[in-house]
Amino acid sequence: MAKAAAVEADTGKELCCTSVIEAPLSQAEAAKLAGVLSALADPVRLRLLSLVAARTEVCSCDLEAPLAKSQPTVSHHTTVLAEAGLIVGEKRGRWMWWRVEPDRLAAIRAALGG
Amino acid sequence: MAKAAAVEADTGKELCCTSVIEAPLSQAEAAKLAGVLSALADPVRLRLLSLVAARTEVCSCDLEAPLAKSQPTVSHHTTVLAEAGLIVGEKRGRWMWWRVEPDRLAAIRAALGG
DNA sequence: TCCACGTATTGACCACTGTCGATTCAGCAG
DNA sequence: CTGCTGAATCGACAGTGGTCAATACGTGGA
């Protein structure tokens, strides 16, 4: 868990100074944005995210069935989304509870010209 | 070029009925959204997109230098972005001119809860 | 017609990633 | 302490994707 908790999202708030359509991105900005978008660019993770958002807080064990994926696979995807800062997890007892980080999604939209 | 022109973006306008954070996505919606996001989830393509957006219209030959990529690689990335509907190309003489499709980016933002 | 130039395609290589079975770790109940 | 349960990690596999050299295609000029 120490490792999982050490999952810091590098929450530098905004993902790039300006939006993609306003000015050419630097390599560093492009790499950072691409990293977060890669976390979103997977159908399983998109559905996982929408499942968590639908109920404000979801236990890992309640994700295996709707996603039709094994427990290690679900754990992998939650880790990826958490590293991207899109969800945050809290361990209560034996269960891991996840909730979305709306600010992060908003930052992505802003980077995309929102 | 016929092949390149045949690159249809499956422009079904909106990418999913509702935004990711409003309701659980169906597998089909998730797959479609993930496909478009995959096109964006690459630092080279993000920089390519921003370069095109910065000048409203750009020739392929003017992308190799700023991206520091070979001509086949640039061609590959423009094809991927075009298939995702994010840019559109027009061949004039020997040159291929690209411009962004702002509506497509807006659709992505909407799908992300914009 | 032939040549030069810009672009697209092919083929190959390597790195990365999604997936799962097996295992290990952590917290709770008895 | 022991056993049970939920989650994270490991190891391995298959599939995908970015890259470039080489080649093919198409257009315009000489």
Domain spans of chain B, in order of start? 27-111
pLDDT at B1: 33
B9-18 confidence digits (pLDDT tens): 445 567 877 7
- Among B20, B38, B53, select the one facing A20 at the smallest CB separation: B53
pLDDT at B4: 37
| Band of pLDDT at residue A1, cut at 50, 70 and 90 | very low
Residues (4-43, chain B) with CB within 7 Å of strand C atoms: 4
Q: Decide if pLDDT at B7 tops 70.
A: no
Q: Lowest-pLDDT range, A27-41, A87-101, B9-23, B27-41?
A: B9-23
Check if CATH label 1.10.10.10 holds for domain A40-114. Answer: yes
- Among B24, B54, B109, select the one facing A112 at the smallest CB separation: B109
A40-56 confidence digits (pLDDT tens): 999 999 999 999 999 99
Q: How far is CA B39 from CA A9, A40, A41, A93, B68, in A?
A: 23, 11, 9, 40, 19
Q: ipTM value of the model?
A: 0.91
Mean pLDDT of A17-44: 94
Q: Decide if pLDDT at B47 tops 60.
A: yes
Q: Decide if pLDDT at B79 tops 50.
A: yes
| Band of pLDDT at residue A14, cut at 50, 70 and 90 | confident
- List the B27 CA – C22 C1' distance (angstroms): 29
Check if CATH label 1.20.120.160 holds for domain B27-111. Answer: no
Give the integer Cα–Cα distance in Å for B98 and A10. Answer: 34
| Band of pLDDT at residue A16, cut at 50, 70 and 90 | confident
Nearest CA in chain B to A114: B109
Give the angle B20-B18-B87 at the CA atoms, nearest 5°: 80
The answer to whether the CB of B50 falls within 8 A of the CB of A24 is yes
